[in-house]
Structures are given as C-alpha cells and as structure tokens.
Amino acid sequence: MVELMRNITEGIMNKDRKLAFLKEKYGDNYPYRSTILKVMEKCEDFYGKDICELTENQLYPFLNNIGKNYNTIITYISVLNSYIKYCYDKKFPGALNTKISYKKDSLKYNMKSSMVASPSDLQRVLDKLFPSVTAGEYANILRCCCWLLYAGLELDEAADIKIDDIRLNEQLISYNGNFYPIYPESLEVIRFCIDSDNIVVQGGKLLYSKKRLNNHLLLRSFNEINASKLRDGITKRANAATKNGKCDVAVTCRSIFRSGLFYRAYMRNDDSLKIDVKPFENNVKAPKKSDHALYEKNRGFKNDYIEWKKCFYTK
C-alpha cells in the first residue's frame, strides 16, 4: 500500500514532466495533444504508475474510444509513444521502451457509437433526440438541419439554405450550383420548415407559439439563426439523449455529415469518394468539390470510410 501511494504521488508530480514534454515536442500546439495524457490519468491511477512504466497490454484497456476517427486515434497514439520514448531516453526511473501499435480490435474502433448506416437509421436516431415533427416545436429546425448535413451541406451552408433552393418534386436541394438529395424520411420535417409560419417554444413549463422570422430561409426561427446556434442545439440534444440512455448513438454535426457522404459513396460503389451528389440520376452532374478535397486533405478519411463499411455493411 505504501508503494502504491508513493507511485500515485509520483504520478501527480509527473504532471510537470508531461507539461515539459508537451512544450518541448509540440510548442504552442501542445494543448490539443495534452488531451490524451489527461485521458490516461485513469490508467495511471489504476496502476499507481506513470504511463511510461506500463506495458502495452496494461495500456490498451484504457485506450477504448479515445477517438471517433482514424486520424484522431493515430494522433493520440503518436503522442503517447513520443512521451514514453521521451521518458525512456531521459532514463526516468521505471520507464520502459514500450511502443503502442494501432489495433482496431484492441481499441474497439466501433463507429456504431457515433455514426449511422442509412437514412432510415438516421431517422431512428433523430426520433430519439427530438419530439415528433407534428408537435411543431423548435426542435424541428434542428431535425431539419441534421437532414441537410446528411445530404452533404456544411453547417454554415445549411443555415443559408432558402426555401427557393428546395425542389420537392425532384427530391433535391439546389445550392451554389450543386445538388443535394432530399431523402423520403426527411420530407415531413422539410415540408414543416417550408410551410409553417410559427413554431412551438417552451417557456418554463408552458408551451406557446411564436412567429418565425426571415421567411425566405428554410431554417428560420423566432430569432436570428446561425451555424453556431444550430450546432449547439444539436449537440445539447444529442448529449442529453445519450447521457440519460435514451439513444445509443452519440451523433455530432460532423458525424452526420460523414455518415451521409459515406452512404452515398457506398450506394454508388464508389470507394474513391469522388461521388456525384446528384441523388438519383447521372445525366446531370454537379459534383461537390469539397467532398473530394476533404478526402485529399484528410489522409485518414478513406480509412474511416473503410471502417464505416465494415461496421455497418459487413456481416
């Protein structure tokens, strides 16, 4: 017990060591990298030792769900390996020459915790996050925004979509020369956002109707709407639903966007992700340049797509 308490005390003192490492290795960018060291404090508390004194097998159980995409996981593992090597090279007491490798099984790399497989799967999740569309509540604005993200629009673009951009008969959205699909599951809430002049809001324990402003915008509300408010609203609902056990998928604006992009690529059997976002026909092409630009910029993007396919469509 005395030995355990001594080790725990040293672990607390090693915060200075970790800070020195982060600043030496990453300079002004160290705060982002410090996240993984903070996460691994639970591991240090459990064993009563610094990370650098533990074996790979001891570390792995505490690496579950350290990131929702390939790049984040690889970055965090790189930070841990750099810290362990830093301690070993400086010959700190107990430091081992451990190297953590990327193992999907060990990391429980499971996209089912944050992404969806299809439009019907997204509808299932949204039904757990928001009230019924027919209730006419403000949540319909957020629900509709989720569908725009799933269709391939970025958050700031979704906030800018106008009613005139919606082509219900063709089941598509036309925006800045690009076309985005309107999925059958989204029709009800999109029609609400087009037609309703009022939404139901809550004040204390009471519900009352308020007139919507900016009648040209699809996601208009009773006050000024922007990307930040939409993101905060969706995040708040998603966090509350997963925390109270109502929903088993912790979606974010980004995970919804990526799920839609991956679904369209999968349905077209296009592993390059150079997809044509025209939803149902090939005679008119309006590729969204940012889709492939995002893939080119993010070296782990294709890895995420491969894992998404394995997660949802491999038996």
Q: In the chain, how many domains are there?
A: 2
Residue 84's pLDDT is 93
For residue 184, give every residue at least 6 positions away whose Cβ sits within 8 Å of its Cβ, in sequence order, or none.
119, 171
Q: Which domain holds residue 127?
A: 119-313
In contact, 47 and 58? CB cutoff 8 Å: yes
Structure-token pair, residue 89:
């090279």
Q: What percent of the chain has pLDDT over 90?
A: 46
**65: exposed, middle or buried (Cβ count in 10 Å: 0-12, 13-18, 19+):** middle
DSSP state of 21: H
- Check which CATH number belongs to the domain holding 265 and give it: 1.10.443
User: For residue 12, what are the CA distances in angstroms to 6, 63, 293?
Assistant: 10, 20, 43
Residues 154 and 76 in one domain: no
Q: What is the mean pLDDT of residues 210-236?
A: 92
- Name which residue leads in pLDDT, 288 or 157: 157
In a domain, 295, yes or no: yes
d(CA 159, CA 225): 7
Nearest to 34 by CA among 101, 82, 90: 82
Nearest to 50 by CA among 85, 82, 94: 94
Domain-terminating residue out of 71, 103, 135? 103
Residues 150 and 286 in one domain: yes
Residues 92 and 197 in one domain: no
Residues 190 and 227 in one domain: yes
The structure's pTM equals 0.70
113-161 per-position pLDDT tens digit: 889 999 999 999 999 999 999 999 999 999 999 999 999 999 999 999 9
d(CA 246, CA 238): 10
In a domain, 111, yes or no: no
Residues 137 and 275 in one domain: yes
Residues 150 and 82 in one domain: no
Q: What is the mean pLDDT of residues 102-119?
A: 71
Q: What percent of the chain has pLDDT over 70?
A: 83
Residues 47 and 179 in one domain: no
Residues 34 and 86 in one domain: yes
Domain-terminating residue out of 43, 77, 103? 103
Domain-terminating residue out of 51, 73, 103? 103
In a domain, 256, yes or no: yes
Q: What is the mean pLDDT of residues 236-249?
A: 90
d(CA 139, CA 104): 36
